[in-house]
């Protein structure tokens, strides 16, 4: 799809950061294309709901600025990692928890890639367990940001999530001016059950 160059004067003014535009009158997106994007979001949401309700020990979601941010808590699990130019499988060692963070576009529900997502866990006694970047993880069902953790106890934790704006380019002079500032959100009462998959 070809764009028309720089946004016309005034196109960015008045754009709501709370409700990203999905305007079919742009040079990049007609009504059919935006409907296809929404269908992608619906399919992703179905996978996310399945993960939260049938796979994870705990999960939750809420809107934050231009995003929908969700989390899922599972047992620590193995994964492939790059070592010396090849993928090498690693089982969890001392890690006993897997924290997943999902970030979707609030306008159409699609997963947003290319973000820097940092999570902080606070234990039931109010002690900060740590703060770590959660890299993008490929999964057979659902892309997410995540990593394994080592936490001291089971119980209800607080999960703080920080998202830096992505550096990728955006198509569309009307709909593309979004994801421009960092956001923070917090989930309380996150139920943690330690274990390894």
Residue 179's pLDDT is 93
Tell me the per-residue pLDDT of 50-88, one tens digit each, with 9 for 90 and over: 999 999 999 999 999 999 999 999 999 999 999 999 999
Is the model more confident about 8 or about 109?
Answer: 109
Tell me the per-residue pLDDT of 109-135, one tens digit each, with 9 for 90 and over: 999 999 999 999 999 999 999 999 999
The C-alpha R_g of the chain, in whole angstroms, comes to 19
What's the pTM? 0.87
Separation CA 33–CA 141 (nearest Å)? 24
Residue 174's pLDDT is 84
Q: Tell me the three state secondary structure of residue 65.
A: coil
Residue 8's pLDDT is 34
| Every domain of the chain and the residues it spans | 31-192
Domain formed by 31-192, architecture: Sandwich (2.60)
Separation CA 138–CA 76 (nearest Å)? 16
Residue 24's pLDDT is 82
């Amino acid at each position: 799809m070809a764009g028309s160059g720089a946004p016309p004067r005034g196109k960015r003014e008045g754009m709501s950061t709370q409700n990203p535009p999905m305007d079919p009158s742009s040079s990049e997106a007609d009504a059919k294309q935006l409907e296809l994007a929404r269908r992608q979001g619906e399919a992703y949401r179905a996978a996310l709901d399945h993960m939260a309700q049938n796979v994870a020990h705990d999960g939750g979601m809420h809107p934050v600025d231009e995003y929908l941010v969700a989390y899922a808590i599972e047992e620590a699990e193995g994964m492939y990692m790059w070592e010396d130019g090849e993928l090498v499988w690693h089982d969890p060692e001392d890690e006993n928890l897997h924290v997943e963070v999902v970030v979707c576009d609030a306008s159409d529900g699609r997963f947003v890639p290319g973000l820097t997502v940092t999570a902080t866990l606070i234990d039931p006694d109010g002690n900060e367990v740590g703060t770590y970047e959660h890299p993008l993880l490929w999964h057979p069902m659902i892309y997410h940001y995540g990593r394994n953790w080592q936490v001291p106890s089971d119980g209800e934790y607080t999960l703080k999530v920080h998202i830096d704006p992505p550096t990728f380019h955006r198509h569309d002079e009307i709909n593309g001016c979004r994801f421009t500032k960092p956001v923070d959100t917090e989930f309380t009462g996150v139920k943690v059950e330690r274990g390894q998959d």
